[in-house]
């Protein structure tokens, strides 16, 4: 049979039976899979309740609302949806603001709308003149967009929508992805391919991926994107690149997303041809003012700058004997007339390593409290070292009441297995946000510092270091998508639980079947603790491979900086292991509130999850399990490996309930994770055993190689460097 006849036959089959070729489940659609709802009762309810669809008003953002509703409802409800500009007298779905919608204006929602602010929304089941309406109402078109995505989430997760009474607004104002993307399309600590920004083709070619990126971010309430690496390149501030930045900003604007850039502090020298970048120099001030004005001619709603200065070799104000406040205020003064902000990162440590690295951000920034201008927000990592699998909350949270502090989480899994390990990070995010700083007594949580409510700050924010690349599924590991999703949801509302966020994501990404949701949720909720156990249990940290940070290397020493080594942090010797940060050691604990100090300074009351972070503990010290510290470490490392194997069994049992393509990909990644977990366990225990001089307990799986063999492993061309 000729190829032409086969093709014609296939075409006739599709034409006659209305069937479409199966769509490959490559993960590109993320959590925005608008497939036909299978629950017939709910499908009937949705069709009846939503009925006629009306979006009143005309603007780029409302056009986005119309397009999303058209695509989503046509898919979810199984039939083409017609969207009109005039509310039907038969009821149905109506979306708009009081300024654009006569119906919403007539409903008298002024007080309720006042309570949700500029980005919030109302989602109501409302009667008007005898007709039943589902109403998406907001003060701004952005709010209408967020309300639309909330409604679609309810449909995708198969919720009852007959009696809606939702009043929703974000808890933080700046909800931002930080892309550590370089202009050559490499991504620092990126594990999902190259940068999605194709700078060479911009501004003339707009990839559909940019639009879908904006849709995904808007769907979880993310309202800003920092396009470039914090290890900044001044070229992005030149006209050649500002044209390209403008093209992206124009794509993102209808989705409520502002563009931000990283500012290299030495730019006045590198592209301005000045002899200095001293923040108090009049010529430098004038240069930044002119540069900011120039940026706003390209991007009138430009958000501002993220700055990494005087850290890891980056230039900054300390080069001129000025403070971080001097540097931040230089940029803030230039941005203030335009409404822009400066996000000044507190990830700093002195090149001479004069003290415990845990203490250095606090030491530099605490004295500056109250000296930053009003449009500066200090961006602080969740912990004081560097995105380790587990860190106690950063001591700066609660310590700078006169300065708004912005949370920085790392979504990309630099220290958590990178692009091949399943590690759901919402429990880690929640662990930090729910930590009590005791800054103003009990209940002064990190979340209240970050959202500004503890100290009544007008500006607040949360940043996430993105895990996005040009891989077809965006994040390499399919479950990496859940961390992007979870970050956005928690930045919008940090009161949400990690379990509920996981449920949402699973139902929207895979299926709402309880036989699938429950086991996957259990996998996800246990996964971060699993990674901690086979990498850095009981407060150990910074044990990873040199430079690439992949795999174990607790033996790293003799590098250009002591705090770039592993031995600096674990301090293992024949007596014990752990970093003494009490009064007898570095006294980093003194940077926390007295209530926190009282709990953590005593090994008996210090949570075992961070015990070795704050204490050097004897190998034979008793732990809460009744085992010695050495035995407990052995059991935790082994337990981490066993937990990965449990995940493998769970996932294998879901074959047939998950599409073959994604099931096979996750299965292979779990095999890599199990192999890596054994590598971590064996290498770390064999190395620490050289100090403990104690056997690995009988009954536990013994190492498969020798310490010498593990120390020779050196991955070549690891991604993300």
- For residue range 446-462, what is the model confidence (pLDDT) as tens digits? 999 999 999 999 999 99
Task: Pick 353 or 701 by higher pLDDT.
Answer: 701
Give strand ranges (E) for 37-139. 53-55, 83-84, 92-96, 121-128, 131-137
**pLDDT of amino acid 352:** 72
Residue 194 in this model has a pLDDT that exceeds 90? yes
- Per-position DSSP letters for 300-358, written without gaps between them: TT--EEEE--SSTT---GGGGT--HHHHHHHHHHHHGGGT-EEEEE-----TT--S-HH
Angle at 325 between CA 323 and CA 331, to 5 degrees: 115
Instruction: Give Cα 535 distance to the centre of its chain.
Output: 21
**pLDDT of amino acid 659:** 96
pLDDT category at 152 given cuts 50, 70, 90 is very high
pLDDT category at 12 given cuts 50, 70, 90 is very low
- For residue range 321-351, what is the model confidence (pLDDT) as tens digits? 999 999 999 999 999 999 999 999 999 987 6
Task: Pick 691 or 7 by higher pLDDT.
Answer: 691
- For residue range 196-216, what is the model confidence (pLDDT) as tens digits? 999 999 999 999 999 999 999
Cβ neighbours, 10 Å, residue 712:
9
Closest CA to 66 of 91, 85, 51: 85
**pLDDT of amino acid 81:** 92
Residue 2 in this model has a pLDDT that exceeds 90? no
Residue 8 neighbours by CB under 8 Å, 6+ apart: none
pLDDT category at 3 given cuts 50, 70, 90 is very low
Once rounded to an integer, what is the mean pLDDT over residues 650-655? 98
pLDDT category at 679 given cuts 50, 70, 90 is very high
Angle at 186 between CA 182 and CA 192, to 5 degrees: 125
Residue 18 in this model has a pLDDT that exceeds 80? no
> Is the distance from CB of 475 to CB of 469 less than 8 angstroms?
yes
- For residue range 372-406, what is the model confidence (pLDDT) as tens digits? 999 999 999 999 999 999 999 999 999 999 999 99
Q: Looking at 119, 414, 451, 504, which residue is catalytic? A: 414
- For residue range 268-324, what is the model confidence (pLDDT) as tens digits? 999 999 999 999 999 999 999 999 999 999 999 999 999 999 999 999 999 999 999
**pLDDT of amino acid 104:** 93
As a whole number of angstroms, the distance between CA 522 and CA 503 comes to 10
Angle at 245 between CA 241 and CA 246, to 5 degrees: 115
Portion of the chain with pLDDT greater than 90, in percent: 94
As a whole number of angstroms, the distance between CA 603 and CA 624 comes to 11
**pLDDT of amino acid 637:** 98
Sign of CA dihedral 448, 450, 455, 456: negative
**pLDDT of amino acid 351:** 66
Please give the model's pTM, rounded to 2 decimal places: 0.96
> Which stretches within 536-653 are classed as H helix?
567-570, 594-600, 611-614, 629-652
- For residue range 78-87, what is the model confidence (pLDDT) as tens digits? 999 999 998 8
As a whole number of angstroms, the distance between CA 365 and CA 170 comes to 28
Known catalytic residue at 414:
yes
Least confident stretch, 6-15, 343-352, 465-474, 525-534:
6-15
**pLDDT of amino acid 394:** 98
Find where tokens 């002899």 sit.
275
> DSSP secondary-structure letter at 107?
T
Task: Give whole-number Cα distances, 493 to 284, 394, 654, in Å.
Answer: 40, 21, 31
Residue 8 in this model has a pLDDT that exceeds 80? no
Known catalytic residue at 386:
yes
pLDDT category at 72 given cuts 50, 70, 90 is very high
**pLDDT of amino acid 9:** 39
Q: Looking at 115, 312, 620, 709, which residue is catalytic? A: 312
- For residue range 168-179, what is the model confidence (pLDDT) as tens digits? 999 999 999 999
As a whole number of angstroms, the distance between CA 563 and CA 431 comes to 25
Give per-residue burial for 17-36: e unless 16+ CB within 10 Å, then b: eeeeeeeebebebbbbbbee
- Per-position DSSP letters for 118-170, written without gaps between them: TT-EEEEEEEETTEEEEEEE-SSHHHHHHHHHHHHHHHHTT---TT-EEEE--
Known catalytic residue at 270:
no
**pLDDT of amino acid 23:** 54
pLDDT category at 353 given cuts 50, 70, 90 is low
Once rounded to an integer, what is the mean pLDDT over residues 51-61? 94
Closest CA to 381 of 348, 402, 350, 408: 408
- The domains found in the chain, sorted by start residue, are 31-168 (3.30.379.10), 174-509 (3.20.20.80), 533-579+616-711 (3.90.1330.10)
Least confident stretch, 347-356, 382-391, 533-542:
347-356
């Amino acid at each position: 049979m000729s190829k032409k006849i086969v093709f014609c036959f296939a075409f006739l089959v599709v034409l006659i039976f209305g069937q479409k070729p199966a769509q490959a489940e490559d993960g590109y659609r993320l959590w925005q899979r608008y497939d036909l709802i299978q629950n017939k009762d709910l499908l009937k309810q949705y069709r009846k309740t939503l009925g006629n669809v009306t979006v009143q008003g005309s603007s780029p953002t409302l056009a986005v609302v119309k397009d999303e509703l058209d695509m989503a409802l046509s898919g979810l409800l199984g039939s083409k949806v017609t969207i009109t500009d005039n509310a039907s007298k038969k009821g149905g779905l109506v979306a708009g603001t009081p300024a654009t919608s006569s119906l919403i204006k007539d409903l008298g929602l002024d007080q309720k709308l006042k309570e949700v602010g500029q980005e919030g929304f109302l989602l109501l089941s409302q009667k008007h003149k005898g007709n039943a309406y589902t109403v998406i109402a907001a003060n701004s078109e952005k709010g209408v967009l967020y309300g639309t995505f909330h409604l679609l989430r309810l449909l995708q997760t198969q919720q009852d929508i007959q009696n809606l009474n939702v009043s929703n607004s974000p808890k933080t104002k700046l909800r931002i992805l930080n892309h550590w993307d370089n202009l050559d399309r490499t991504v620092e600590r990126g594990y999902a391919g190259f940068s999605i920004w194709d700078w060479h083709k911009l501004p003339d070619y707009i990839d559909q991926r940019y639009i879908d990126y904006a849709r995904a971010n808007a769907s979880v309430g993310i309202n800003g994107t920092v396009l470039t690496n914090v290890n900044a390149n001044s070229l992005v501030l030149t006209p050649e690149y500002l044209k390209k930045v403008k093209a992206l900003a124009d794509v993102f604007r209808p989705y409520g997303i502002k563009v931000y850039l990283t500012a290299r502090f030495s730019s006045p020298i590198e592209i301005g041809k000045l002899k200095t970048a001293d923040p108090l120099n009049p010529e430098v001030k004038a240069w930044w003012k002119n540069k900011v004005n120039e940026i706003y001619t390209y991007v009138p709603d430009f958000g501002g700058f993220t700055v990494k200065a005087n850290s890891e070799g980056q230039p900054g104000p300390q080069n001129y004997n000025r403070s971080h406040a001097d540097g931040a205020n230089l940029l803030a003064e230039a941005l203030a007339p335009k409404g822009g902000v400066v996000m000044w990162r507190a990830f700093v440590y002195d090149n001479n390593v004069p003290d415990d690295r845990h203490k250095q951000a606090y030491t530099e920034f605490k004295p500056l409290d109250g000296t930053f201008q009003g449009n500066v927000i200090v961006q602080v990592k969740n912990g004081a070292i560097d995105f380790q699998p587990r860190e106690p909350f950063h001591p700066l949270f609660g310590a700078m009441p006169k300065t708004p502090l912005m949370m920085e989480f790392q979504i990309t899994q630099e220290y958590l297995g990178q692009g091949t390990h399943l590690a759901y990070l919402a429990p880690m995010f929640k662990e930090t946000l729910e930590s009590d700083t005791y800054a103003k007594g009990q209940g002064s949580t990190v979340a209240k510092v970050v959202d500004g409510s503890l100290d009544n700050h007008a500006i607040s924010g949360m940043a996430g270091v993105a895990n996005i690349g040009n891989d077809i599924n965006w994040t390499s590991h399919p479950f990496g998508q859940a961390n992007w999703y979870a970050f956005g949801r928690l930045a919008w509302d940090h009161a949400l639980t990690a379990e509920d966020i996981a449920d949402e994501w699973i139902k929207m990404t895979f299926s709402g079947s309880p036989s699938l949701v429950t086991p996957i949720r259990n996998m996800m909720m246990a996964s971060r603790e699993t990674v901690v156990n086979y990498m850095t249990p009981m407060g150990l940290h910074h044990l990873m491979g040199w430079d690439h940070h992949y795999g174990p290397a607790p033996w790293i020493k003799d590098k250009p900086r002591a705090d770039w080594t592993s031995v600096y942090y674990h301090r293992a010797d024949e007596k014990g292991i752990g970093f003494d940060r009490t009064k007898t050691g570095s006294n980093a604990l003194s940077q926390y509130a007295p209530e926190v100090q009282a709990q953590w300074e005593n090994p008996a009351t210090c949570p075992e999850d961070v015990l070795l972070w704050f204490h050097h503990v004897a190998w034979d010290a008793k732990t809460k399990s009744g085992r010695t510290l050495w035995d407990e470490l052995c059991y935790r490392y082994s337990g981490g490996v066993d937990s990965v194997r449990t995940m493998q069994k769970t996932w294998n049992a879901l074959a047939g309930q998950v599409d073959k393509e994604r099931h096979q990909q996750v299965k292979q990644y779990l095999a890599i994770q199990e192999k890596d977990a054994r590598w971590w366990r064996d290498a770390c225990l064999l190395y620490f055993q050289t100090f403990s001089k104690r056997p690995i307990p009988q009954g536990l799986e013994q190492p498969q190689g020798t310490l010498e063999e593990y120390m020779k492993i050196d991955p070549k061309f690891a991604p993300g460097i």
